[in-house]
Amino acid sequence: MKIVFLTNEYPPHIYGGAGVHVEYLVPELARLDDGEHTVEVLCFGEQRAQQGNLRVQGVQMECPLPFQDRRHRRFMETLLRDIAMAGSVAEADIVHCHTWYTHLAGCLLKQLVGAKLVLTTHSLEPHRPWKVEQLGTAYQGSAWVEKTAYQNADGVVAVSESMRADVQSLYGVANDIIRVIHNGIDLNQFKPTFKPSVLQAYGIDPEQPIVLFVGRITRQKGIIHLVNAIRHINPGVQIVLCAGTPDTPEIGEEMKARVGEARNATTNTVIWIPQTIAKDELIALYTHASLFVCPSVYEPFGIINLEAMACGTPVVAAAVGGIPEVVVPVETGLLVSFQTSDRGDFEPQDAEVFSRDLADSINLLLNSPETLQGMGLKARQRVEKHFGWTSIARQTLDFYKKILGDSSST
């Protein structure tokens, strides 16, 4: 089988869950069936590698493009890269696209080389209205590209049951071409790993409880709601925010202002790490954290929660999207519900109540160290049982075979 992956993100350029998914799925697929399948990756960047049956080729475009709004630039450049991707593939059985950034290329390749088009639903544009801040009216363009791809797909991988429902309701995708295959985790890499030197490097006190957040500064990740919750967290706690890469200068400035207000309203230490940190350091922070907080207002799956759980850390998370399929309430953490506003932006109807509920859940767990310890053990056990990448790669390959008409697949 000739499998072509089309993706914006690929190592070393990873900034979100879709990139993490591709980073780990691709090599696992290449190893299956003694490496008899050819796997080619076309991605945004300068990457170039060849290892056995796995080939990686970055796509860069230096051609200057006109645009009427500075926010349109990324959209226009994306379309140009997609055209270059489509022209770079001579043959393929499966073309597997990840996020709207590569959907145009996938649609073109379906026509040009007769490949079957597979999309993984990492997120959906209609459920990310805050992207108007980044893209302006180009957001309508990205939504159109995405809709067109789903209407032409031969197979859709939904990373959660929630995403299955979304692609059906938004784009009318037939149930029989959708398969739910959860995201996974590298259990050998993400595991309890204590490194006090990492805490020391970032000024974190190993003797005090640590509440940890990891993620981009974006409306989707709900970090502003967590920052607003800090004033309600019990004394004697450190809040560590590994938060960088703001979506826009405006939300970056808002983050600075809210963190300043939070520091003035609490006796707790608030440590903000604004840069991307190395993976080994991140694993150490997960391990040393008393609990991890995921306040996302939209989360198709939430790989970040798997990372924390694999390191033996309980999770307090918003009960949205695919998160309830990962975090088991009372067993591996707590879920916090909220009523969505009627603005269609997925923000809580009452943001202040959501922030207070986050703080209450954090306080409840921190007040019971024995409960935290038990949850941490169960979190690791759950990840080991359900979320290994080898199993996920096999499920994905079986889905390809079904799409190609192999009656032996399930």
Note whether residue 409 is domain-resident.
no
- CA 38/CA 45 separation, integer angstroms: 21
pLDDT at residue 408 is higher than 80: no
Do 349 and 245 fall into the same domain?
Answer: yes
pLDDT tens string 152-207: 999 999 999 999 999 999 999 999 999 999 999 999 999 999 999 999 999 999 99
| Residues 217, 244 contacting (CB under 8 angstroms) | yes
Note whether residue 190 is domain-resident.
no
pLDDT tens string 195-252: 999 999 999 999 999 999 999 999 999 999 999 999 999 999 999 999 998 989 999 9
Note whether residue 226 is domain-resident.
yes
In this prediction, residue 409 carries a pLDDT of: 57
What does pLDDT average to over the chain?
95
Mean pLDDT value across residues 366-392:
95
Do 297 and 394 fall into the same domain?
Answer: no
| Residues 237, 364 contacting (CB under 8 angstroms) | no
User: How are beta strands 155-158 and 116-121 bridged, if at all?
Assistant: parallel
- Amino acid of residue 397: L
DSSP one-letter code for 236: S
Do 380 and 398 fall into the same domain?
Answer: no
Phi, psi of 282 (to 5 degrees): -60, -45
Q: Which residues of 182-206 are buried (b: 16+ CB within 10 A; e: fewer)?
A: bbbbbbeebbbbeeeebbeeeebee
Going by C-beta distance under 8 Å and a sequence separation of 6 or more, which residues neighbour residue 89?
4, 40, 42, 95, 109, 112, 113, 115
Q: CA nearest 392: which of 19, 137, 27?
A: 27
Do 209 and 156 fall into the same domain?
Answer: no
Do 248 and 318 fall into the same domain?
Answer: yes
Mean pLDDT value across residues 84-96:
97
pLDDT tens string 104-130: 999 999 999 999 999 999 999 998 888
- CATH number assigned to the domain comprising residue 36: 3.40.50.2000
**Prior bond of 209 cis (ω within 30°):** no
Note whether residue 410 is domain-resident.
no
Do 339 and 255 fall into the same domain?
Answer: yes
Mean pLDDT value across residues 6-17:
93
Do 167 and 217 fall into the same domain?
Answer: no
| Single pTM value for the model | 0.85
Count: domains in the chain: 2
pLDDT at residue 410 is higher than 90: no
- Amino acid of residue 166: D
pLDDT at residue 296 is higher than 70: yes
Mean pLDDT value across residues 17-32:
95
Q: What percent of the chain has pLDDT over 90?
A: 91
Q: Which residue has the tokens 């796995």?
A: 54
- CA 208/CA 185 separation, integer angstroms: 28
In this prediction, residue 407 carries a pLDDT of: 45
Note whether residue 113 is domain-resident.
yes
Q: How many CB atoms lie within 10 A of CB 246?
A: 18
Do 321 and 207 fall into the same domain?
Answer: yes
Do 160 and 53 fall into the same domain?
Answer: yes
Do 228 and 339 fall into the same domain?
Answer: yes
pLDDT at residue 272 is higher than 70: yes
Tell me the residue ranges of DSSP E strands in 296-372: 315-318, 333-336
> What would the two tokens of residue 292 be?
């991890």
Note whether residue 99 is domain-resident.
yes
pLDDT at residue 61 is higher than 90: no
Mean pLDDT value across residues 279-288:
97
Note whether residue 191 is domain-resident.
no
pLDDT tens string 308-365: 999 999 999 999 999 999 999 999 999 999 999 888 778 999 999 999 999 999 999 9
Mean pLDDT value across residues 272-291:
96
Do 85 and 12 fall into the same domain?
Answer: yes
Do 168 and 262 fall into the same domain?
Answer: no
Note whether residue 189 is domain-resident.
no
- Domain interval for residue 77: 2-184+388-403
**Adjacency order of strands within the sheet including 38-44:** 48-51, 54-59, 38-44, 2-7, 94-98, 116-121, 155-158, 178-180
